[in-house]
Structure 1
């Protein structure tokens, strides 16, 4: 243990000795002296950038003219139409009265008499409207118009 303490002491004194010599104007390790030398001129040929790269915008005038083309002026449309029903009038003969006997008062030779009278059957022509084709809705497509 006493040997280790001695080593540390010697190392510490050595460091203090070197620091104190430099601080007190002791031995210097490097030195610099300002030197004034005249300027030397020579001709050197090298590529030098005169102007930096950039972008150049060229203006090209527009070309005007006439072009003919077909344009849709009215789009196609879909509409719906109601088609009325198709009807027909049909006539048929219908018996209105079946005929037969009835009693009625009549004047015969100036006297009022109750008589039994025979009546024929009565027929009449009757009209009836018949639907042949019912009403329907029809889809109508109107094509587009182009000019």
Structure 2
């Protein structure tokens, strides 16, 4: 503000007065000389983008494992075996004629006499084929047959996920011009000039 004031004063007032004073040969009341005021800078810090935000995909392959598995080679089977009938020969006493009472003539002492006679039972031994065990059908079980095989199984399926990378910033310092360099008139003390 002070520089602006002195600049305006030099341009509008001082220069004509000095010229007039010198030309007229009058007494100088105040004297000024030109001076350069250097530019004024200040340091500012700025946050600048070094690398923008990005993302990438990470692929994770599927995970497999091998494990034993029991497999059926041949199912259970049932077959039948036939057992023939079993016979046995047995002997038994069979009544041929039961005991009985009858009349018959007998000659006793030259005489023909009718006598009552008891006849014993008549038996006969016969052989007979007897069924001891009839023919049968026996079920014979054959157990199932298994085997162990290795197979590839999925433990974890393939997956993917996205990784986010945040933007990278950096703080940098730079000089900023606050006021440019300028030429101003400043008062001076010289002989013959009152200040």
**Aligning the two structures, in what range does the TM-score lie when normalised by the shorter sequence?**
0.3 to 0.5
Larger CA Rg, structure 1 vs 2:
2
**Which structure dedicates a bigger proportion of its chain to strand?**
2
TM-score norm. by structure 2 comes to: 0.27
TM-score norm. by structure 1 comes to: 0.33
